[in-house]
Structure 1
Amino acid sequence: MGVRIVTDSTADLPAEVREEYGIEMVPLYVHFGDEVFRDQVDMSPDQFFRRLTAEKERLPQTSQPSPGDFAEVYRRLAEGGDTIVSIHISEAMSGTLQSARAAREMLQGADIRLIDSRLVTACLGHVVLDCAQAARDGASADEVVELAESLCSRTNLFGAIDTLEYLERGGRIGRAQALLGSLLNMKPIVTLSDGVVAPAGRVRGRSRVIPELVRLFGEAVGDRTADITVVYAAQPDGVDELEQALRATGRVGRVRRGQIGPVVGTHAGPGVLGVAFTVKE
């Protein structure tokens, strides 16, 4: 008996990391016309972005897991006597947590704690990884839930995207709609606020993206330090430079790199560079 961590595929955690930390993942779905793929299972990020750029006229769609998808995982863990802490994409962005709730109702007697992270992609991944480490170190379910809530409140991202078209067409643009209609060659920068995508600014030209991301990171972290993940989409252009610039601030702890997956990529598009961070207490 112990505490097991469940998340969904929008945490964008590679399979080898999930295996190392004993994390269970319930995938969302990506639809290209009549074809349906399980996010991070049937289609890798590289495969997805190749297809996304090749089929520009046909934007894929995404859908949440079914309650049955969650129930299958929850049942297996509960039968082993484990308490389940299930941490998911912001409910303001997806119905995934709603499916998880329905699955919990199907499994009366199982101890399942549900958490709306109000986050997505590597931000969610940060919370899930740290909670999985705590569970592996022997933390109780109550302690893991308390840790998750604390981590969620200290985690965010800043991301530069080539175009808001994908967010707009996918219905996930949130308050970043204020950046629509920007001038030619302006690069929008987004963040997360109250569980939705929100504007953080915009810069003219790619050369100014990294300095602005570093400035926003420094402003958010202040005199503290933060664990970070440098995030990219189709190509890791600028990843080395951004990582070096962030390290140079002296405010960086653990450093990872992460590629956004098919579901997140459907809404963000192929041109993304950013930093997810968790400020240390």
Structure 2
Amino acid sequence: MSVVVVTDSTASLPPEVAAERGILVVPLQVVIGARAHDEGSAEATPARVAEALRDFRPVSTSRPAPAAMLDAYERAAAAGAKQILSVHLSGDMSGTFESAQLAARDAPVRVVCVDSREVGVATGYAALAAADVIGRGGSVEAAAAAARDRADACSSLFYVDTLEYLRRGGRIGAAAALFGGALAVKPLLTIEDGVVTSLEKVRTTGKALARLEELAVVAAGDAAIDLCVAHLANPERADLLADRLRSRLEDNLDGREIWCGELGAVLGAHVGPGMIAVCVAPRL
């Protein structure tokens, strides 16, 4: 293959999908206590992260080092890649994109880096859009444009039980977290221009999830979409939301399955147990 797509583990692509599409995935790291583990390893599962957070053990995350990104680029080149498209989560949320840029300078082939300005599976859908263009014989520039367009079109919506974990990770201000905790509100959040922003505040979990459903339906409109529902330690509510959206958005999905599963360990470390997220991704 003359052009290979590389992304990172926060893109939340099922391993079988990444393998089928020839997408290389570079893991971020989860640090539990004093030990660092690659996301996706047996030591860095969502369940272990949720348990550590509940037990008030220190949990943090770390970007891939430039050397790890360079290793992925070198492996792709050794397998025959002439060019590489590297698609990653928002540079305002992680240093992963910066690592990709630094590694690209020393790569044995040309590397084009794309900051998706998104997180989670929205980045994954951007990487898949790029792979679609490459599969049709398109240029790396056309694939990069498709990745940016797909990410821009995505709506990432999520509910958290508390803003405390986002505050600990520096993803939301201390004042906002204190305000939310004091009022016992259930925040609905989104990603806007690469950062977490407040969307709405409601009083109960039930109202929050009902509102999340409505916002997802509005985001879908009349478009053909892909849809993902993710959670951390909240499978029953995630399954219920996926079932409701499957029924309400049947025409938009046109037989495509909703991806529904647990959020990766890295993102889970920043949102905490109980989180529910929906990504609505219009098909371009």
TM (norm. structure 2) is 0.89
Deviation of the 1:13 alpha carbon: 2.2
In structure 1, what is the Cα distance between the partners aligned to 2:245 and 2:174? 27
CA deviation profile, 1:46-77 (whole Å, cap 9, x unmatched): 33323333x32x23111111110011110121
Matched residue count: 278
CA distance in structure 2 between the partners assigned to 1:176 and 1:228 by the alignment: 33
Partner of residue 48, structure 2: 47
Distance, in Å, in 2 between the alignment partners of 1:176 and 1:194 is 21
| Aligned twin of 1:167 | 166
Number of the residue aligned with 2:38: 38
Counterparts of 1:189 and 1:176 in 2: how far apart (Å)?
17
Q: Equivalents in 1 of 2:96, 2:222: separation in Å?
A: 36
CA 1:51–1:252 in structure 2 vs 1: closer, same or farther (change >3 Å)?
farther
Letter in 2 for 1:198: T
Q: How does 1:56-71 map to 2 (within 5 A)?
A: 56=56, 58-71=57-70
Aligned to 2:209: 210
Residues 192 and 167 of structure 1, relative CA distance in 2, 3 Å threshold: same
Partner of 2:19: 19
Give the residue type in structure 2 aligned to 1:171. G
Counterpart in 1 of 2:116? Answer: 117
The CA distance in 2 between the partners of 1:48 and 1:273, in whole Å, is: 16
State the partner residue of 1:157: 156
> 1:280 is matched by which residue type in structure 2?
R
Identity %: 36
Q: Secondary structure at the match of 1:162?
A: coil
The equivalent of 2:281 in structure 1 is 278
Distance in 1 separating the partners of 2:16 and 2:49: 19
1:83 aligned partner? 83
Matched, 1:74 2:73: yes
Contact 1:85 1:113 in 2 (8 A): yes
Deviation at 1:174, TM superposition (A): 6.0
Question: Which residue of structure 2 lines up, in the alignment, with residue 258 of structure 1?
Answer: 261
| 2:271 match | 268
Which is further off, 96-105 or 38-47?
38-47
The answer to whether the Cα contact below 8 Å between 1:12 and 1:258 also exists between their aligned partners in 2 is no
Is the deviation greater in 139-148 or in 159-168?
139-148
Instruction: Please say if residues 52 and 59 of structure 2, whose CA atoms lie closer than 8 Å, have aligned partners that are also in contact.
Output: no
Quick one: structure 1 residues 137 and 41, their matched pair in 2 at CA, closer, same or farther if it must change by over 3 Å?
Answer: farther
Distance in 2 (alpha carbons) for counterparts of 1:162 and 1:29: 24
Change in CA separation of 1:174 and 1:227 when aligned onto 2, cut-off 3 Å: farther
How far apart are the structure 2 equivalents of 1:89 and 1:222? 25
Residues 198, 150 of structure 1: alpha-carbon distance in 2 compared, 3 angstrom cutoff: same
Distance verdict in 2 for CA 1:224–1:67, change over 3 Å: same
Deviates most, 25-34 or 182-191: 182-191
1:269 offset after TM fit, Å?
0.6
Relative to structure 2, which stretch is displaced further, 219-228 or 188-197?
Answer: 219-228
Contact 1:28 1:64 (8 Å CA) reproduced: yes
The CA RMSD measured in Å over matched residues stands at: 2.2
Taking structure 1 as reference, are residues 160 and 110 closer, same or farther at Cα in structure 2, changes over 3 Å only?
Answer: same
- Letter of the 1:275 counterpart: V
Q: Distance in 1 between matches of 2:87 and 2:261?
A: 19
- The 8 Å contact of residues 175 and 199 in structure 1, kept in 2 or not, is answered as no
1:185 positional shift: 4.5
